[in-house]
């Protein structure tokens, strides 16, 4: 049985204690729930890979509670400091040169000489990291390749009996994994799209490269990027303008004029077969709902999930990135 922990000063200390002794705990963040272990403890980190069925070559993000903690393990250029000061705590992961003998376990970085670091914007998790006084290595708390968890029940549904403790933090407010930017080369490269957009970053530091599309380069910098990802069990059909028989509908904006192929209207679909990411067409609201609504429609029993088009701008770029990967699976 998984123990649900509601944050309190005692629970923060208890959780830090569990991590200090090599435990693995699921933790809330503003992006998605993470499956955390002490990033300096190779055996504890090894348990994360086992629980998720994650390939060893795919490195983990180390979560810190301050820029000073990041400096203990990685080399921060002035550019890195500027980005950290502007976006932390928040959904931006910086890939940085690892300090020699940093103490970060080799399996966190999958043996690379770089490390992905971010400071999450979630009070309880920040306090746990500070109490541990070491970074927490945490991938999303789902079985490898499956939908990311934005609610505690998604975590227990995916990892079930393997998980002894989860700290509760409600629904993840952003709902999409962090933007990842690699700062180890001459020009910064965005490796994964997220809530922090290319434009947000370029406003601050000028032009950056975009490697978020699979086909852009033959040798992807982000080792996990080409893996099957974010997949519900039910196949997806993107850019839907109507709903087929046996299809559930994931809407965006108004469905007033959307028809069913066998006659009638999409809005009359049976309960549990139609959800709307954002009736008012707000992409930020849509991002926050994306994974939880996919989780829900995955339970509908529909043969397919038809997904309406989401404009390719702002956070819509990250939403479409996740949807395309989910549809490919
Ligand atoms: O929002 C998030 O980033 C969430 C929460 C829990 O913080 N975490 C998350 O972790 O999405 P995960 O493991 O599902 O995705 C981490 C990604 C992987 O694609 C991995 O390849 C990449 O980060 N990554 C980690 N370290 C890296 C490094 N040193 N160089 C390049 N890519 C790295
Ligand atoms: Mg993941």
DSSP 148: P
Question: What are the tens digits of pLDDT across the range 222-236?
Answer: 666 656 678 899 999
Which ligand sits nearest to residue 93's alpha carbon?
1
pTM of the complete model: 0.95
- What element of type H or E holds 306? strand 304-307
Q: What percentage of residues in the chain have a pLDDT greater than 70?
A: 95
Q: How much is the pLDDT for 243? A: 97
Q: Is the CB–ligand 1 distance for residue 222 below 6 Å?
A: yes
The best mutation among 28, 140, 219 to test binding of ligand 1, ranked by most ligand atoms within 8 Å of the C-beta, falls on 140
Question: What are the tens digits of pLDDT across the range 120-162?
Answer: 999 999 999 999 999 999 999 999 999 999 999 999 999 988 9
Ligand 1 atom showing the smallest separation from residue 114 Cα: 29
Tell me how far CA of residue 135 lies from CA of 39, 117, 217, in angstroms: 6, 9, 31
What are the helix and strand counts (H, E) for the chain?
9, 15
Q: How much is the pLDDT for 224? A: 61
Question: What are the tens digits of pLDDT across the range 267-302?
Answer: 989 989 999 999 999 999 999 999 999 999 999 999
Residue with tokens 């007033």: 256
Q: What is the mean pLDDT of residues 173-194?
A: 97
Q: Which of 20, 241, 252 is nearest to 129 (CA)?
A: 20
pLDDT at position 217 over 90: no
Q: How much is the pLDDT for 122? A: 98
Residue 1: CB atoms within 10 A of its CB come to 8
pLDDT at position 215 over 90: no
Number of residues assigned to the chain: 329
Contact 137, 39 (CB under 8 A): yes
Contact 306, 234 (CB under 8 A): no
């Amino acid at each position: 049985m998984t123990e649900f922990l509601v944050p309190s000063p005692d629970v923060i200390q208890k959780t830090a204690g569990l991590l200090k002794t090599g435990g693995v705990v699921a933790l809330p963040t503003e992006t998605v729930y993470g499956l955390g272990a002490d990033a300096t403890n190779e055996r504890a980190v090894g348990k994360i890979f086992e629980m998720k069925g994650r390939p060893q070559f795919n490195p983990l993000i180390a979560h810190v509670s301050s820029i000073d903690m990041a400096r203990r393990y990685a080399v921060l250029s002035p550019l890195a400091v500027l980005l950290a000061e502007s976006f932390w705590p928040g959904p931006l992961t910086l890939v940085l040169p690892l300090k020699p003998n940093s103490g970060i376990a080799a399996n966190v970085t999958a043996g690379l000489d770089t490390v992905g670091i971010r400071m999450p914007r979630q009070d309880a998790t920040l306090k746990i990291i500070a109490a541990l006084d070491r970074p927490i290595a945490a991938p999303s708390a789902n079985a490898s390749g499956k939908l990311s968890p934005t609610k505690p029940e998604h975590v227990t549904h995916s990892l079930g009996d393997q998980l002894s403790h989860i700290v509760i933090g409600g629904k993840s407010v952003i709902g999409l994994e962090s933007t990842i930017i690699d700062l180890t080369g001459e020009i910064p490269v965005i490796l994964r799209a997220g809530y922090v957009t290319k434009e947000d970053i370029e406003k601050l530091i000028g032009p950056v490269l975009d490697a978020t599309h699979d086909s852009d380069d033959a040798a992807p910098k982000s080792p996990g990027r080409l893996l099957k990802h974010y997949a519900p069990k039910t196949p997806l059909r993107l850019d839907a303008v109507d709903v087929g028989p046996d299809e559930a509908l994931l809407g965006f904006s108004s469905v007033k004029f959307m028809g069913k192929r066998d006659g009638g209207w999409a809005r009359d679909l049976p309960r549990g077969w139609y959800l709307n990411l954002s009736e008012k067409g707000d992409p930020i609201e849509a991002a926050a709902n994306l994974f939880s609504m996919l989780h829900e429609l995955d339970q509908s029993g529909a043969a397919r999930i038809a997904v309406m088009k989401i404009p390719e701008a702002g956070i819509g770029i990250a939403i479409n990135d996740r949807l395309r990967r989910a549809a490919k699976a």
